[in-house]
Structure 1
Amino acid sequence: MADRYLRLTGTAPGRFLTRRLGLPQPAALTRWSAERPALDGGLLHLTAGRSALDLAPVLARTGIGPAGSGRTERAADAPAAVVLDATGVRDVEALAAVHAALHPVVRSVASSGRVVVLGAPLDPADHHQAAAQQALEGFTRSLGKEIGRGRTVNLVRLTDAAAAESTLRFLLSPKSAYVSGQVIEVGAAREASAADREPTDADQDRPLSGRTALVTGAARGIGEAVAETLARDGARVVVLDVPQAEQDARRVAERLGGTALLLDMTFADAGARIAEALPDGLDLLIHNAGITRDRRLVNMPAERWISVLEVNLASVLRTTDALLKDGALKRGGRIVATASIAGLAGNAGQTNYGASKAGVVGLVRSLAPRALDEHGVTVNAVAPGFIETKMTAAVPLFIREAGRRMNSLAQGGLPADVAETTAWLAHPASGAVNGQVVRVCGQSLLGA
């Protein structure tokens, strides 16, 4: 459904009226397209404190040139992105360098621009360093809520610049338009297998070539967008949905050059059936299928509770266990599950849905280190906020408008925003990103 308020604020009368009334003023976001694959402008690299990171080679490969070398005449005055290396901040006094670095430039960042703060892991043996680095989280999230004009602010904790390259490419691109206020931890680089080596320049546009991706609930909505984006990146996509969605599933599969797999994920043997249908195994397991059966707890019968927990959580656990145990998911593979901000912040009338999505978060955090050590597979989750789909279009007007405006970008996201985030986590070079739950919510004002 069209966001008429967003269109209104894009006009001169609309800007004047909303400014006078103190209403939200969302900016149209710059999203990825084949015609516009990179941000329009230059990159400003700043440092607060001493840093041991060698960022220059990595930043040079993000597709954004140094500030002043962008494609517009305004690039020198309005950088498309600012990267602040604050990994060397180890005490409260050093935080002054964060203010000194960003204070003069933050206002000049271009519309739909990016601010990425780089921090270090918290040192359990040094509470001064831990305090200063934790302070960066509050700083980043606060700045994200005040920067405006469609600009995003994120924090990346890292020790190895090379291991964070896929993450920086994503955050410094139009693909991350609806990801803001996030704290992403990137582990140290590990020895790459043939399956997860960084693509060469020749195949950077299709990094998933040769990989098989299974996307559940892919016949429509967010799942369809995820399947489309993975296919764009070169994956052979298997579109899984329930038999009742056969027509839509086959339509999507045919359009993407993939195959349809009709299966109810709640079947006890769903994992075995998937393994049988894919005798050569799979590389990417995307758990997107989910349902809602909303009602306040006092009015919720047991069957509504059970059905949501079974589809959204139990089937994910059961199928994941089976595919890992059978070795159907190859080494160097990726598991990306769909959580929700309802599981992080809660939502009235959704105790069943919130419980199921919080359960997905628990699954990711517990399974991620073991899956990587034992199977060579990473496990992460995306947590969408208000996304413009047929489901949200059916929400009553005032509730829908509240959902759209209650985030730092003051607008709803698109299925493509969730899909792009999933594709980043599925990327061959994202092996150091593990156990992360990344909200795709425009930095929702609800929850952490």
Structure 2
Amino acid sequence: MGDRYLHLTRTAPGRFLTRRLGLPQPHPLRRWSADTPALDGPLLRLTAGSSALLEPLSDAGLSLTDAGLPLIAPDEGPAERRTPAALVLDATGVSSATGLAEVHAALHPAVRSLGAGGRVVVLGSPLAADDHHQAAAQQALEGFTRSLGKELGSGRTANLVRLTAPAAAASTLRFLLSPKSAYISGQVIEIAGRAVDGERAAGGDPARPLAGRTALVTGAARGIGAAVAETLARDGADVLCLDVPPAEAELRATADRIGGTALTLDITAADAADRITAALPDGLDILVHNAGITRDRRLANMPADRWSSVLDVNLTAVLDITDALLKAGVVGDGGRIVATSSIAGIAGNTGQTNYAASKAGIIGLVRSLAPRVADRGITVNAVAPGFIETRMTAAVPLFVREAGRRMNSLAQGGLPVDVAEATAWFAHPGSGAVTGQVLRVCGQSLLGA
């Protein structure tokens, strides 16, 4: 189902009416396509604080020449008078409360010129355990960036990246500074000190970074799972699409469309891990846990079977299959594990104590497992979708659906491809320094942090 309200606001009567009534005015988001792979305009680089990483970042590939996004400085002549498509502020050197004035001084004049659908990326440093002034200043950047994301409007986004080593940030910055991150705003991403699997990240076709890799996507018959499978295949992966037997027809259609393989299987079955292992004789590089169900009801009215069925699919099966595939070595060194959480697991939701518990459990899995498999170069991350336009949300009552769409900084629902692009970024061979993260794909929902 299309967003009729968004289309209405693009008409002259719609603009007049919504402005007079003070209603949200969502801006159509430009997502990635082969014809428009980059943002339209230059990237303006800015600095606040005593040290700057922008020059090293340029050496690491932030110039984005392969994506057609030129990197310019404010003093580089005519280029600065073009409407920038993105602003990158290096605030890694801000180490005191007074130093935050430089953040204001750098961005205050620049945000006025940022084009519609533009990006703001603030670069910060990890909080220093032995310097509470630095920690206070760097933590301030989080509140600043989240607030800026709510102010920008016109499809613009703002995100904060905390990093220690420039070379480890290239894949993350390319993602955030591209149409692929259209529905991601107000997020804080932590980059570890080193890029894992850097040799494989540097080689091959940039348009097919997953070439030669095998991916498993559960719940791949339709919706978000199908979009994830399609996006990973677009990036070169060989995809094993998994879903339950009743969805076999749709599953095979997805697999056929992307040149993948279909596997019908109930992931809660006792032999699920064994059957997955048998289907992957050459091992697995990317494991995407997307399968999930809802059985909504308020706790006072929720029987045990509705509780357990959701926990069994959404959490227990994820834990058991992950453990089994890691123990058997099916997920190889340098592998990627991406699980689907939800903003319901972060903020809670009426009638979804079972679902929210399962999705919060995914966050616990990520945070605990990531450091324990890091020595093998395996990353573990989660995406946490907000309101995504799927068959399920299309069935939601009209007013509840409209509230879900508008209660975020971009004033619209996301698309399955938005979750898929975030998953593909986590799966990228150059994202080895990104682990233990939970990325909200929610347009900066007003619910939760």
The bucket for the TM-score relative to the shorter chain is over 0.9
Distance 1:142 1:318 in 2: 39
Contact kept, 8 Å, 1:425 with 1:433, in 2: the verdict is: yes
State the SS of the aligned residue for 2:81.
Answer: coil
**Alignment of 1:164 onto 2:169:** yes
Q: By how many angstroms is 1:120 displaced?
A: 0.1
Query: Counterpart of 1:402?
Result: 403
**Alignment of 1:47 onto 2:47:** yes
Contact kept, 8 Å, 2:382 with 2:438, in 1: the verdict is: yes
Contact kept, 8 Å, 2:198 with 2:429, in 1: the verdict is: no
Distance 2:276 2:384 in 1: 25
Question: Which ranges of structure 1 fall in alignment gaps of 5 or more residues?
Answer: none
Contact kept, 8 Å, 1:41 with 1:67, in 2: the verdict is: no
Query: Counterpart of 1:323?
Result: 325
Query: Counterpart of 2:95?
Result: 90
Matches for 1:41-440 after TM superposition, within 5 Å: 41-53=41-53, 54-57=56-59, 58-61=61-64, 63=67, 64-67=69-72, 76-190=81-195, 192=197, 197-200=200-203, 203-373=205-375, 375-440=376-441
Distance 1:301 1:107 in 2: 54
Q: By how many angstroms is 1:425 displaced?
A: 0.3
Q: By how many angstroms is 1:191 displaced?
A: 5.4
Query: Counterpart of 2:448?
Result: 447
Distance 2:271 2:80 in 1: 56
Contact kept, 8 Å, 1:50 with 1:89, in 2: the verdict is: yes
Give CA deviations for 1:280-315 in whole Å, capped at 9, x if unaligned. 101000000000000111111110000000000000
Contact kept, 8 Å, 2:185 with 2:444, in 1: the verdict is: yes
Letter in 1 for 2:34: A
Contact kept, 8 Å, 1:121 with 1:158, in 2: the verdict is: yes
Distance 2:21 2:82 in 1: 30
Distance 2:322 2:407 in 1: 34
116 and 128 in structure 1: CA distance in 2 versus 1, 3 angstrom threshold: same
Contact kept, 8 Å, 1:67 with 1:79, in 2: the verdict is: no
Instruction: Give structure 1 regions of 4+ aligned residues with deviation exceeding 6 angstroms.
Output: none
State the SS of the aligned residue for 2:109.
Answer: coil
Q: Which moved more, 1:152-161 or 1:58-67?
A: 58-67
Distance 2:153 2:364 in 1: 33
Q: By how many angstroms is 1:74 displaced?
A: 9.6
Contact kept, 8 Å, 2:57 with 2:170, in 1: the verdict is: no
Q: CA RMSD in A?
A: 1.5
State the SS of the aligned residue for 2:430.
Answer: coil
TM-score (ref. length: structure 1): 0.96
**Number of equivalences:** 441
Give CA deviations for 1:54-89 in whole Å, capped at 9, x if unaligned. 1222321363103599xxx99834200000000000
TM-score (ref. length: structure 2): 0.96
Distance 2:407 2:325 in 1: 39
Distance 1:336 1:191 in 2: 16
Give CA deviations for 1:164-221 in whole Å, capped at 9, x if unaligned. 1000000000000000000000001145376xx2143x50000000000000000110
Contact kept, 8 Å, 2:145 with 2:158, in 1: the verdict is: yes
Q: By how many angstroms is 1:268 displaced?
A: 2.4
Contact kept, 8 Å, 1:84 with 1:117, in 2: the verdict is: yes
Identity across the alignment (%): 73
Q: By how many angstroms is 1:270 displaced?
A: 1.3
